Structure formats: C-alpha cells, structure tokens
Amino acid sequence: GTAPLVKAIAGTTTLKATDYYKPLVEGDILESDDRQRKIVLGSYVALATLFVKGCVLLPDMDAIVACKTVLAVLVGYEFADLGSGVYHWSMDNYGTKNTPVFGTQIEAFQGHHELPWTITYRQVCNNIYKICQATFPVAMAGIVAIDDPYVLLWMST
C-alpha cells in the first residue's frame, strides 16, 4: 500500500516513477534503461563527430569562412526548430494509436497534451531515445559520405 511512499518521503528508500505514477500507455515505463542510454549516447557521439569533422574540414578562417560557418549553424538550428515543430504538430493532429509506424508516438504526443505534466515523470533518456534512434542513421551517413564542412555543421545542429 502506502508503506513504500512513506519510506520515500522519510528518505529511507528511493521510488521509481512507476511506483507512484501510472504511465499514459499501458506497459510503458518511465525510467531510462541501459538500451535507451546507449541509443542516446550513440546519437550524441555521432552528432559530435559530425561537428568535429565539419570543424576539421573548414578552410583557413577569414571573414567569409566565419560568416558561412555561423550561417550553417543558424540555418541548422532553424531547420531543426521548424522540422520538430512540423513533426510535433503532425503527431498532435493526425492519426491514432493504430496508425502504422507512428501510432505509439501519436498516442504519447496526444496523451501528453491531455495531461502535460506527465513528461516530468519520465527520465531524460527514456524521453528522447526514439528521436535519437531516428537521427542516428542520418548522422552516420553524414559522417561517412559528406565532406562539405558547412553541410556537416548544419547537420550537427
């Protein structure tokens, strides 16, 4: 019953989020597991590699190179913001949990808007690993196939 909660409040034990909060989707977990952490780490390493490769391939710095570099990063952030906004809007407004490929994401997005505080119960890697999983192949393709420093810097943002 309430004994684990009382111990947690007293500071004598640590609760998992699912001990006191029911996830929106049956069977969902709120804690990050090792697989999710590895996916996030791999994605972050790939993005950092894109950035480092882009910096290494930059020509000698002058005003033009500096402007192109700043522009590549700013445009990258703008594309990321626009892309994530369109994605979020699409998940919020179209489809159901039964939609192929995106169904579980749609269900989570729509549920998040019904009960917005639920995201605060989810650990970070648990919350972002699906996005990292989707971006990893693109980042790897950039590492292997692209040698334009500005494209690499754009991709890394």
* Cα 108-2-4 angle, rounded to 5 deg: 80
What's the whole-model pTM score? 0.75
Place 14 in a pLDDT band, splitting at 50, 70 and 90: low
Q: Could you tell me how many helices (H) and strands (E) the chain has, helices first? A: 7, 0
Whose structure tokens read 């790939």?
Answer: 46
Each residue's pLDDT tens digit, 73-112 = 999 999 999 998 998 899 888 888 899 988 877 887 787 7
